[in-house]
Amino acid sequence: MADFSADVFQNEYLPAGGDTLDAVITVTSGANVSAAGSKQLVEVIIIDVSGSMNEDRGAKIQAAKVATMAAVDTLDDGVEFAIIAGTDRAHQLYPRNGLAVADAGTRREAKDTIQRVRADGGTAIGTWLQLAAQLHRTRPDAISHSILLTDGKNQHEPHHVLQASIDACIGLFQCDCRGLGTDWNVDEMRLVADALLGTVDIIPRPEDMEAEFRALISSAMKREVANVALRLWSPKGAQMEFLKQVSPTIEDMTGKGLPVNPLTNDYPLGAWSPGESRDYHLRVKIPAGGVGDERLGARVMLAINDEAEPIALVRAIWTDDENLSTRINREVAHYTGQAELAEAIHDGLAARAGGDEESATMKLGRAVQIAHETGNVASARLLEKVVDVDDPEAGTVRLKRNVAAEDEMALDVRSTRTVRVGKQGS
Amino acid sequence: MTDVSAEPRVCGVCGEVARPDDNWCEACGADLAPAALEIPGDADATPAFVATGPCVSCGAPVEDITDDGWCQQCGTKQPEPGDHVVDDLGALAVVCDRGRKHGANEDAGAIGRDRDTVVLVVCDGVSSTDQSHHASQAAASVAAEVLLDGEDAIGARMVRAAAQAQNAVVEATPAASDQPPSCTFVAALAAPELDSGVGATAITVAWLGDSRAYWIDDEGARQLTRDHTWAIEQRTIGDLTEDEIASDPRAHSITRWLGADAIDVVPEIVTTTVDASGLLLVCSDGLWNYASEPNAMATLVAEHDADGPTPLELSQRLVAAANELGGHDNVTAAIARFPLVEETVTVTGSDPAALDVDSHPTTSEPTKSNGS
């Protein structure tokens, strides 16, 4: 079994009749995570080559080519890879079919092919994903990763086709989505990334693309164990109120459980690198016990290829000592705040887009206040591009009249990035 | 007592049982010394929880108890080995339970029988002190042993039992302890009183602190002990009003105990003669706090004794009742029912002596087992 450990942060004391347990679980991978299986990486790069990529006198398509060639150069020998060019349908650019094994020859061939690409046509992201799924499906045990780059909205297929295509990809590969410029749709890309355990970000300028692609490939190549799942057992009568990843970003996992048995569910975590650490916030409702009773609210296990190992216990002890039961755990409080921050940014931007300035001012003000309190400097800086801050402690802000579209989108896509406890003021 | 070194050893290579003095395995020739002494696994690791019955809460079968002690159905923590200790000698039994509020069980009980003589001992560890559970266990076991084995006059034996229990507590005291372990002490010895007619029983009770003994029969309950607490002692002195006593923070503090910091460990002793049938109950305050007056205790016992339960069943019920009422403290109830039922060969607990038939060939030898 692979090398994982966990810490649980919770107040296990509940008052008489109390039935709701909150816990933050930090899962950390050790140096030997790969012990469990294959380290083979399969990388499928999906590039938007629709007609809009010709904008800026060809700067976008040129930058996309440079970035993709850089990504190919970054691949270690032995990585299996393919490149898909996407328009209103999907074209496999390299190799002609199947996957290529990276070496000096295939890298050169791939780059030659990329050089010759011309941008033309529409955008149907669902078809791109379907082709990527076909390729990834041939390597079920590999660490399967894709990069999806688009500069526009999914205009040339109905939404339900995109949704169905995403659903068909779940569990086959992980996908990091990048939007170039400001004409793409954050919610669309988030839909893909959430389902496929990836990230979303904006690449405002074409010239930033190369560095971003190199970074994405490097981090994919660090992954050493695929198909990791958080396996949660809860007692009879328990109800999972929510399960969220809360660090490094907030991702709701509540609906992603796959039943193992009536009391146990697997929540897919994707692939892990050695020495990684992620935090999860769990809230579970369990049947209340009597004062003095001690029960397990959840047993946290780590499952890889159906081998599971217990890593943490979430406990409940009922007490009539209010000094114990009213304490709020520091980590739980912190991440509750980070989740509220992300929600306030999201709601504030939505209100602003809908013309409800009063509500937008209030929500974004609250966001500024939490970012300030919890030392989330990155979010605070992004907020300052959208609002003028009069008093960060009180959360008093004014909406800026002129906001760059890229600043608003950056705030939106990065609103789910959290900071950890103890990083305040850094 | 069994000599540990005389335990049969098993060859670590082939599994052959070896004689205690063998250095080499007769069957395969392997070196016995290291293999036989080897303890598998990490000595510091938490031993796996061994479930002995269904879930205490939802009744899920024993297979559903995990090896870290939780029910896989309802999630209830199963009691630790020391959390609920039972000993049953038929005519007498002891049940010692952690209760609902305390994290550890610092009570201990020990019972024993030699023909028509029975001994019941309860010690209640003072929870503010270090290692109290070790102290109370050691004290109860030693005292029961002294009381059963002694030939001297019963009063002198009681003093000796308390003194040896005190030594055991002091031995259990960690070096340089700011809060040396301490515990209460109550011991009852009942034996036929031949001078007072057929069936009469003489009961001698010795105690230090607030653990109690009661005699309960058709006429009600009689408290045989008088608590060594600040409140009771002030009432005897009579200088303070009842209100002043009751409102004093020291009211419930015990004034006498066993422990390295004890001033005087000569117990108070009373002797009484009782008629043929009834119950001798020895208990900690975890029980009597819910039935402080003798009448209340008589009622509590009567409620659970109507269908003629065995002493074990009755002890279990009284402990369960205390837990129902809040279980604010550790609870111990030791009960002997008179007339004593015929002694049966009872193998209780994991005491190797109980299994060592060779060293105790007849059942008339003293049987002593401790409840912790």
- Better-predicted residue by pLDDT, A167 or B341: A167
Share of chain B above pLDDT 90, in %: 47
- Selected residues 238-267 of chain A with any CB under 8 Å from a CB in chain B: 238, 263
For B251-286, the pLDDT digits (tens) are 889 999 999 888 899 999 999 999 879 999 999 999
Q: Is A295 on the interface with B (CB under 8 A)?
A: yes
Contact A186, A413 (CB under 8 A): yes
Contact across the interface for B57 and A290, Cβ inside 8 Å: no
Amino acid at residue number B69 = G
Closest by Cα among A46, A137, A31 to A84: A46
Q: Which of B56, B71, B74 to mutate to test the interface with A (most CBs of A within 10 A)?
A: B74
Q: Is B57 on the interface with A (CB under 8 A)?
A: yes
- The partner residue sitting opposite A292, judged by closest CB among B58, B71, B100, is B100
Residue B242 has a CB neighbour count (10 Å cut-off) of 10
- Better-predicted residue by pLDDT, B326 or B142: B142
Does the pLDDT of residue A422 top 90, yes or no? no
- Which tokens in the block code for residue B216? 């309960």
- Selected residues 80-109 of chain B with any CB under 8 Å from a CB in chain A: 99-101
Confidence at B11, pLDDT banded by 50, 70, 90: low
- Which tokens in the block code for residue B371? 């409840």
Does the pLDDT of residue A146 top 60, yes or no? yes
Confidence at B174, pLDDT banded by 50, 70, 90: confident
Contact B359, B74 (CB under 8 A): no
Nearest C-alpha of chain B: how many angstroms from A21? 13
- The partner residue sitting opposite B73, judged by closest CB among A236, A290, A299, is A236
Mean pLDDT score, B68-78? 91
Contact across the interface for B75 and A234, Cβ inside 8 Å: yes
Confidence at B372, pLDDT banded by 50, 70, 90: very low
- The partner residue sitting opposite B100, judged by closest CB among A237, A291, A295, is A291
- The partner residue sitting opposite A293, judged by closest CB among B68, B76, B99, is B76
For B105-148, the pLDDT digits (tens) are 899 999 999 989 999 999 999 866 666 777 898 999 999 999 99
At CA A383, angle to CA A377 and CA A384, rounded to 5? Answer: 90
**Range of lowest pLDDT (A230-239, A329-338, B303-312, B356-365):** B356-365
What's the pLDDT score for residue B371?
40
Share of chain A above pLDDT 70, in %: 97
- Mean of the per-residue pLDDT values of chain A: 93
Does the pLDDT of residue B214 top 90, yes or no? yes
- Selected residues 297-326 of chain A with any CB under 8 Å from a CB in chain B: 297, 299, 310, 313, 315-316
Q: Which of B83, B97, B100 to mutate to test the interface with A (most CBs of A within 10 A)?
A: B100
Mean pLDDT score, A289-306? 90
Contact across the interface for A293 and B71, Cβ inside 8 Å: no
What's the pLDDT score for residue B19?
61
What's the pLDDT score for residue B68?
86
Find the radius of gyration of the CA atoms of chain B: 22
- Better-predicted residue by pLDDT, B105 or B8: B105
Closest by Cα among A363, A252, A231 to A298: A231
Measured in degrees and rounded to the nearest 5, phi and psi for residue A349 equal: -65, -40
Share of chain A above pLDDT 90, in %: 87
Confidence at A1, pLDDT banded by 50, 70, 90: low
Nearest C-alpha of chain B: how many angstroms from A18? 15
Does the pLDDT of residue A37 top 70, yes or no? no
Confidence at B187, pLDDT banded by 50, 70, 90: very high
Q: Which of A14, A236, A284, A321 to mutate to test the interface with B (most CBs of B within 10 A)?
A: A236
Cα–Cα distance for residue pair A296/A287, rounded to 1 Å: 11
Share of chain B above pLDDT 70, in %: 77
What's the pLDDT score for residue B9?
55
For A95-122, the pLDDT digits (tens) are 999 999 999 999 999 999 999 999 999 9
The three-state (H, E, C) secondary structure of chain B, written as one string? CCCHHHCCEECCCCCCEECCCCCECCCCCCEHHHHHHCCCCCCCCCCCCCCCCCCCCCCCCHHHECCCCEECCCCEECCCCCCEEEEECCCEEEEEECCCCCCCCCEEEEEEEECCEEEEEEEEECCCCCCHHHHHHHHHHHHHHHHHHCCCCHHHHHHHHHHHHHHHHHHCCCCCCCCCCEECEEEEEEEECHHHCCCCEEEEEEEECCCEEEEEECCEEEECCCCCEHHHHHHHHCCCCHHHHHHCCCCCCECCCEECCCCCCCCEEEEEEECCCEEEEEECHHHHCCCCCHHHHHHHHHHHHCCCCCHHHHHHHHHHHHHHCCCCCCEEEEEEEECCCCCCCCCCCCCHHHHCCCCCCCCCCCEEEECC
Chains A, B: CB contacts within 8 A come to: 50
Confidence at A33, pLDDT banded by 50, 70, 90: confident
Contacts of A287 in chain B (CB under 8 A): 74
Nearest C-alpha of chain A: how many angstroms from B99? 8
- Better-predicted residue by pLDDT, B212 or B58: B212
Q: Which residues contact A372 (CB under 8 A, 6 or more apart)?
A: A380, A392, A393, A395
What's the pLDDT score for residue B57?
84
ipTM over 0.90: no
Nearest C-alpha of chain A: how many angstroms from B88? 27
What's the pLDDT score for residue B25?
62
Q: Is B73 on the interface with A (CB under 8 A)?
A: yes
What's the pLDDT score for residue B6?
39
Contact across the interface for B74 and A287, Cβ inside 8 Å: yes
Contacts of B101 in chain A (CB under 8 A): 291-292
Confidence at B351, pLDDT banded by 50, 70, 90: very low
Confidence at B237, pLDDT banded by 50, 70, 90: confident
Confidence at B370, pLDDT banded by 50, 70, 90: very low
Contact across the interface for B327 and A292, Cβ inside 8 Å: yes
Mean pLDDT score, B311-339? 93
